[in-house]
Amino acid sequence: MKNKKRTLAQQNERAGLLYSLPFIIGFVCFTLFPVIQSFLLSFHTVSASANGMVMRFESWGNYHRLLFENASYVRDLLLPSLKELAINFPCILIFSFFIAVMLNHQFRGRTFFRVIFFLPVVVSSGVILLVQDNQLQTNMLSGITGSASGGGGISQFTDTVTDLLEDFAVGEWLITFVTSAVDRIYDIVTSSGIQILIYLAGLQTISPSLYEASSIEGATGWENFWKITFPMISPMILVNAVYTIVDIMGGLNNNLVKQIYNTSFVIGDYGYGSAMGWIYFLIIGLVLLLFLGVASRMVYYEDR
Amino acid sequence: MKASHRFRMWRSALRKRKVNRSKAGSFVMFTFLIVCAAFTALPLIYTVVTAFKPLDELWLFPPSLVTVNNPTVKNFIDMFVLMADSTVPFSRYIFNTVFITFAGMLLHVIFATMCAYPLAKKQFPGKNLFFGLVTLALMFNTYVTSMPNYLTMANLGWVDTYLAVIIPAIGAPIGLYLMRQFMEQIPDAVLEAARVDGSSEWQTFWRVVIPQVKPAWLTIMIFSFNGLWNLQQSNYIYSEELKTLPFALGQIANGGIARAGVSAAVTMLLLSVPVLFFVATQSNIIETMNSSGIKE
């Protein structure tokens, strides 16, 4: 009986809290709390001793060391990863979108292609880590990615191209441009897996009746794409943009992330590592907020 | 009569045009797809090929990428022999990984979906603040938070239990973020219609919202499955009996340079499960794609 007296808004509020509570608790305990903790730790020097962990308050010491004393942090780590982001981010977003549109067509072997484009996601999170101690395997795999002096694969291809270009006596800059372009294409293709998946899921929630209606009105495929597919998928473009930023900035093959790991766990200076992470986090956060502020105005939602 | 005739004419004209377009279009499309696919498939093809190479062919330089002269299954046999040697029975590792993967994945998907629903479609105090925090938390990589997380686990007494791995996976922000964005797209009209027809809050959620976002939760499942399956070693687990399959197989693979072939076999075995899972879920997504709920 009591239930009936509540207004709709109150009911909604109650249901809302009730449904979210399990996740909120988990999130606060295992994501939010550690994040705050690491912020506090970034103002300390942390060292392990016989009596457990010893924390010494440093105030801004860690940050000062990073920004003003240790020149290589900003120059060799921060700026290059921002540059990488600026180039790869639009490329990945656009590339994965067009692949997803293609894979959403009805054609034979579609599942096969979907699997292939998803492979890098499986591979990057599993195998590369698995075999990182195995020198031979590492050489073989990195030879393919062209990042080390292994044999074969893409690096072999780029070597051949380099030789060829040298025979033609073209300028040095062209050679570096071509080889870095090939490397970059590899980067982009292999880090588009999740984005393609998200786009595909988004494309599949578009009601086919929209396309039916527009074909009856005589719209061409091109018009369909820009007037239906594009606006309907725009929320997913936003999602992917966020995911791509997070992925590029937080990925294991990001040098800055490796450095954070090394400082925190190999050298054991956890406070310093946290400070590194936090400067980085503030910058990405700023980039993300700016982007969200601009982009969310352009996103189309059916109900608004 | 006349109208239906014209309709048929129009349909056939439409179909014809589609065929013409797809002939030129699909050639370009296929070429493009195949070139891109070559990039992503190469490491895997190479791994598969290596798994079947006999020892002497492993040492060829430059290594042959896609061919093997005398294919052998010796690497796989070696792998099983090494598995049988382990101190903890191998089935235990398999159980650990399967259990962690499925428990973590299912709980994560259920709770993230339940939480995303009100975040997308209801009003309650603190909603925007909470979602803002989730978005920001996406940017933290696990290294920065792993030390505080360890302290939490230690205080809860969860170190060296399954809980230490499964419970944090539930609160992963990426699943919630994705789910909420997808639910945002469900028209309010559908939910109102359900309410008018007398469905309870739970029924609306379970019968209307969940089917509408099936592609989304299948995607999150893939995500979560992949992450948990590949979980190699956790900072929170020390007992050998609780360690995971990738960890155990990693030990086999890292036994030195002579085990390159075995390690390729191991890699193949480990990769095949997420790939199969992906294929299974993908075909499910395709089946349901045309069943969206609303007719305007």
The CATH number of residue B223's host domain is 1.10.3720.10
Using a pLDDT cut of 70, give the percent of chain B over it. 78
Q: pLDDT by residue (tens digit) across B185-238?
A: 788 888 888 888 888 888 888 888 888 888 888 888 888 888 888 777 667 777
- Report A:145-164 residues touching B (Cβ under 8 A): 145, 151-154, 156
The reply to whether A12 touches chain B by the CB within 8 Å rule is yes
φ and ψ at residue A150, rounded to 5 degrees: -70, 180
Chain A contacts of B260, Cβ < 8 Å? 134, 136-137, 140
Note whether residue B1 is domain-resident.
no
Listed range (B12-26, B69-83, B274-288) with the worst mean pLDDT: B12-26
Which of B114, B232, B259 lies closest to A130 in CB terms?
A: B232
Instruction: Examine the pLDDT at A66 and tell me if it is beyond 70.
Output: yes
| Domain A71-295, CATH class in plain words | mainly alpha
- Residue B240 DSSP code: G
Average pLDDT over residues A109-130: 70
Following DSSP, what letter does each residue of B170-227 receive, concatenated? Answer: HT-HHHHHHHHHHHTTS-HHHHHHHHHTT--HHHIIIIIIHHHTHHHHHHHHHHHHHH
Assign B13 a pLDDT band (cuts: 50, 70, 90): low
- Put simply, whether B187 touches A (Cβ < 8 Å) is yes
**Average pLDDT of the segment spanning A203-208:** 80
What is the tally of structural domains in chain B? Answer: 1
What is the nearest CA distance from A2 to chain B, expressed in angstroms?
16
B171, pLDDT greater than 70: yes
* Ramachandran category for residue B262: left, alpha or beta (phi over 0 → left; psi -120 to 50 → alpha): alpha
Beta bridge partners of A48: A53
Which chain A residue lies closest to B264 (C-alpha atoms)?
A137
Gyration radius (Cα) of chain B, Å:
25
B115/A154 touch (CB, cutoff 8 Å), yes or no? no
Query: Looking at residue A138, what is its pLDDT?
Result: 47
**Residues ≥6 apart with Cβ < 8 Å to A134:** B253, B254, B257, B259, B260, B263
The confidence score (pLDDT) of residue B254 equals 67
Radius of gyration of chain A (CA): 25
Against a cut of 0.95, is the pTM above it? Answer: no
The SS3 call for residue B164 is helix
- Residue B234 within a domain: yes
Asked if residue B86 belongs to a domain, the reply is yes
Residue B206 domain flag: yes
ipTM score for this prediction: 0.73
Q: Is residue B192 part of a domain?
A: yes
Lookup result for tokens 């794409």: A225
Q: Residue B144 above 70 pLDDT?
A: no
Domain assignment present for residue B295? The answer is no
Chain B contacts of A212, Cβ < 8 Å?
A: none
Q: Across the interface, do A12 and B177 touch by the CB < 8 Å criterion?
A: no
Given this model, what pLDDT does residue B4 score? Answer: 59
Q: Is residue B90 part of a domain?
A: yes
Partners of B50 on chain A (C-beta within 8 Å) are: 140
Give the residue on B whose Cα is nearest the Cα of A132.
Answer: B254
Residue B174, domain extent: 78-288
Cβ contact A186:B96 at 8 Å: no
Is residue B150 classed exposed, middle or buried when 0-12, 13-18 and 19+ CB atoms within 10 A define those classes?
middle
> Does the beta carbon of A194 lie under 8 angstroms from any beta carbon of chain B?
yes
Examine residue B154 and state whether it is found in any structural domain, yes or no. yes
CB B172 within 8 A of CB B224: yes
- Whether residue B147 and residue A264 make contact (CB cut-off 8 A), yes or no, is yes
Pull the structure tokens for residue B18.
């589609």
Q: Does B260 touch chain A (CB under 8 A)?
A: yes
Pairwise pLDDT comparison (B163 vs A182), residue with the higher score: B163
Yes or no, beta carbons of B226 and A24 under 8 Å apart: no
Segments making up each domain of chain A, as ranges = 71-295
> Could you give the C-alpha distances from A169 to A124, A160, A175, in angstroms and in order?
38, 14, 10
Contacts of A183 in chain B (CB under 8 A): none
Residue A33 and residue A14 in contact, taking contact as beta carbons nearer than 8 Å: no
pLDDT score recorded for residue A252? 62
Q: Which of A22, A107, A134 sits opposite B253 (nearest CB)?
A: A134
More confident residue, B105 or B252: B105
